[in-house]
Amino acid sequence: MDNINTAIKDIREYSDLNLKEVEPITKINLRGKKREFFTKVGQILSIILPAESNTSTGNQELSALWLSPDEWMVYTNNMNKEIFDRVFKEISSLNYGAVTNVSDQWVCINISGDKLYELLSMSCPFDFSKFKDTKGSTTQTIINHIDVIIHNLGNNNINLFVRRSFSNHLWDWLNDGANLL
């Protein structure tokens, strides 16, 4: 379930930027519209999925990111696999919604530092002016033509999710950009 094989075997530190891959980390994609779907997610994961666009919810162990009106991504560093086994058995197999393990599809890069949004804005069309001041906000956008999901952890600290096959390319681009700042 967890991406034991890391994509980026590197940690970089610059004067105002720090980049590292966060691993191992479990990521589950949830899709559903039925009332039973939301009830089961609440019962099993103890979180309420965010209904408002570009927001997230979470508790001490899990974060749930809004991806679209009927799609969310839940991620955690918790190794408790029983919880996710229950999610699969009690939602997917009963047709209340779709549960997909995307742990190996997405690579999580943590970026922090004062020049974080300067770095992202070098090749991202998204307007970060409101985003950066709102802890817990999320967005899906493109950086250097690469699809990413960004979760704002507050205080110039984000988790950036990128598809594994693009992760090394984006990592190189981020470091090139950081060198120029």
Partner 1 sequence: MFLINCPYCGERDQSEFVSGGEAHIVRPKQPTELNDDQWAEYLFMRKNIKGIQFERWNHAHGCRKWFNVARDTSNDKIEKIYKIGEQPPKL
* Minimum CB distance to partner 1 smaller for 9 or for 125: 125
Q: Are 96 and 32 in contact (CB under 8 A)?
A: yes
Interactions with partner 1, residue window 115-134 (CB under 8 A): 125-127
Interactions with partner 1, residue window 132-161 (CB under 8 A): 139-142, 147
DSSP string, 17-45: -EEEEE-S-EEEEEE--SHHHHHHHHHHH
Distance CA 179, CA 181 (A): 6
* Minimum CB distance to partner 1 smaller for 31 or for 34: 31
Q: Is 174 helix (H, G, I), strand (E, B) or coil?
A: helix
x/- map, 35-74, partner 1, by CB under 8 A: ------------------xx------------xxx-x---
DSSP string, 116-137: HHHHHTTS--S--TTGGGSTT-
Query: How many of the chain's residues bind partner 1 (CB under 8 A)?
Result: 14
- Beta carbons within 8 Å of 157's beta carbon, 6+ residues apart: 110, 111, 112, 116
* Minimum CB distance to partner 1 smaller for 54 or for 103: 54
* Minimum CB distance to partner 1 smaller for 4 or for 69: 69
Contacts with partner 1 by CB under 8 A lie at 53-54, 67-69, 71, 125-127, 139-142, 147
